[in-house]
Structure 1
Amino acid sequence: MDTELLRTVSLVAQQGSFAAAARVLNVDPSSVSRAVAAAEAALGLRLFRRTTRSLTVTEEGEIYLRRIAPLLEELDAAREAATQAQRAPSGTLRMTASVAFAHECIVPHLGAFHALYPDVSVELLPTDANLDIAANAVDLAIRLGAAPAGDLISTRLLTTRYVVCVSPGYVATHPPVRKPEDLAAHDCLRFALPEFRTRWRFRRPGGTPFEVPVSGRTIIANALSLRRAALDGLGPVLLADWLVGRDLSAGRLVDLFPDHDATATDFDTGAFALYPSRAFLPRKVRAMIDFLRDRLGN
């Protein structure tokens, strides 16, 4: 099957409608509809359920799209690798990420990136606000959470696991926390986002999710400051593994529930690279995406 048909089908699933996919491709929605129909005819199965108000992926479509997504990424990477043989990445790469993610997962690797790509300058904009990519002339944005929806193209850099952790000093001087429900009696450190403030979600692997109410006197709008407060023994905190992994390994923090998955939103979350278009992706952007996926994946 024509790979462009596969790309169109994948984009429709990502964007959630023919019209949104057409805007990304800068084509008429009818051409997107024809491409999807052609793909379905070639495959002999229906990929989408269509109504006058919505478009959803069928069960068969979800299986198929999940399998072809890494193939399309690999085709893009192969094409880019071939063209890089002609010209190395160069220019200024303007990128943005949250303050904590930039501090923990980007800045420590910039030296290695510059060693690989000496002709690329990096302008990093750490901010906890989601900058408008077009308005701020951003080449690449790193967003945290569930898979992003919208007009931008996204690719997962890493999968996040959230951890409820405390300092060893807190464990030694406070009532025991043997199960998630025990958190209701503790002075928890909370992130200043609505979904993090009042309840945290848990599940055992393969089990049914459940919620635990949380409260506490300290609410902070920055993950690095929350980590610092936890290290200082102020209470239990829910933070991403990429932020507290070294603290857990060194014994500076303790994972209270290693046999549970924890989150405040969705259990399937991660760090995603967002960029305006898959077509003619600048070499400097592709270089950074591949570099971060490799470094963070390891």
Structure 2
Amino acid sequence: MKLADLSLIQEIARHGSFAAVARQRDVDASSIGRIVAGIEHELGFRLFARTTRRMELTEAGTLYLSRVGPLSEELDRAVEECRAMQVEPRGTLRLSASATFGQRIIVPRLSAFRALYSAVTVEGVFSDSTIDLVADRVDLAIRLAPMIDGDYVVSKLMDTRYRVVAAPDYLRRAPRLEQPEDLAHHRAILFPYRDYRSRWIFRDAAGTLTEQAVEGDLVLSPAGAIRDAALAGLGPALLPDWLISEDIEQGLLQTCIGGWDVTATRFDTAAWLIYPSRSFLPAKVRAMIEFLRRSMA
């Protein structure tokens, strides 16, 4: 039976008349009768005993509505609550990001988000492993890449840029590090991905590209571990600006090989917002997207 049919039966039981329900719905009373007859045929028993003055539930009809009535009310409440979630941010938001981006960028902002949206519970899934948004019930993901493939809605959160950095103490005692070829005399701190651990790509002001092989005896992940190793003076590292900008401002790390853009993959990298569908986007997801855009502007 359809939910609309169940609602109709409940209305008739309350009013005790096909005509009253027909007037309320602005339809012909005979059409209500035909619908009820079809429902009774489908169920295999009569719901109403018809008299000249009133429509009464049969014993079977009374039993049936006593069992399915509470279910109908629960379904109505569920629909109301779910529709409310489309308007007002509430419920649990599962947010995915890489381990270091989640810890360094997302977590420090959660206090401000919670102050604005106290009815939203945030579950942060911070991992460098690839997560399936649908299978893992992720509402919103942030991924760092040149581009994103897949059947998802994707929009750019912010551009990212990489730099070669090292601790001042390391640079004082190590060979000079001013040109890409100088990396041949250093043991770099490397990321385990193939492109990051074998060669870095440099681009000068004229747009000329130079590939420089890199070697090192420290291969670490996640990116936060590479940052910590660089801060400890263990060698130069290739790290994103969102992770090291404060360290550079505070003099804890220095940019090396100035005047060159650098990357391990492509120069136009970014942080991307990804969610499964644009249709019926919950208010909690919209709220987080708008909050992240504002706080990172």
Same fold flag (TM > 0.5): yes
Alignment of 1:153 with 2:153, yes or no, is yes
Instruction: Please say if residues 193 and 221 of structure 1, whose CA atoms lie closer than 8 Å, have aligned partners that are also in contact.
Output: no
Residue 28 of structure 2 is matched in structure 1 by: none
Residue 185 of structure 2 is matched in structure 1 by: 185
Name the % identity.
46
Residue 235 of structure 2 is matched in structure 1 by: 235
CA positional deviation for 1:201: 0.6
Offset from partner CA, 1:144-171 (integer Å, 9 cap, x none): 1112011011111111010100000011
CA positional deviation for 1:221: 2.1
Residue type of the partner of 1:288?
Answer: M
CA positional deviation for 1:89: 1.1
CA positional deviation for 1:123: 0.5
TM-score of the superposed pair, with normalisation by structure 1? 0.69
Alignment of 1:251 with 2:227, yes or no, is no
Residue 121 of structure 1 is matched in structure 2 by: 121
Residue 8 of structure 1 is matched in structure 2 by: none
CA positional deviation for 1:206: 4.7
4+ aligned runs moved over 4 Å, structure 1: none
Residue 195 of structure 1 is matched in structure 2 by: 195
Q: 2-side partners of 1:280 and 1:205: how far apart? A: 46
Q: Secondary structure at the match of 1:266?
A: coil
Q: 1-side partners of 2:209 and 2:88: how far apart? A: 48
TM-score of the superposed pair, with normalisation by structure 2? 0.70
Q: Secondary structure at the match of 1:272?
A: strand
Alignment of 1:284 with 2:290, yes or no, is no
Q: Secondary structure at the match of 2:270?
A: strand
> How many residues end up aligned between the 2 structures?
214
Q: 1-side partners of 2:275 and 2:256: how far apart? A: 37
Residue type of the partner of 2:170?
Answer: Y
Offset from partner CA, 1:19-49 (integer Å, 9 cap, x none): xxxxxxxxxxxxxxxxxxxxxxxxxxxxxxx
| Structure of greater Rg | 2
Residue type of the partner of 1:118?
Answer: S
Instruction: Please say if residues 105 and 296 of structure 1, whose CA atoms lie closer than 8 Å, have aligned partners that are also in contact.
Output: no
Offset from partner CA, 1:187-243 (integer Å, 9 cap, x none): 000001111010001112451222110001110121111001000100000000000
Q: 2-side partners of 1:283 and 1:209: how far apart? A: 45
Residue 91 of structure 2 is matched in structure 1 by: 91
Q: 2-side partners of 1:269 and 1:286: how far apart? A: 24
Runs of at least 5 residues in structure 1 that lack an aligned partner in the other structure: 1-82
Q: Which region of structure 1 is more displaced relative to structure 2, 226-235 or 279-288?
A: 279-288
Residue 142 of structure 1 is matched in structure 2 by: 142
Residue 131 of structure 1 is matched in structure 2 by: 131
Residue 50 of structure 1 is matched in structure 2 by: none
Instruction: Please say if residues 178 and 258 of structure 2, whose CA atoms lie closer than 8 Å, have aligned partners that are also in contact.
Output: no
Q: 2-side partners of 1:242 and 1:205: how far apart? A: 23
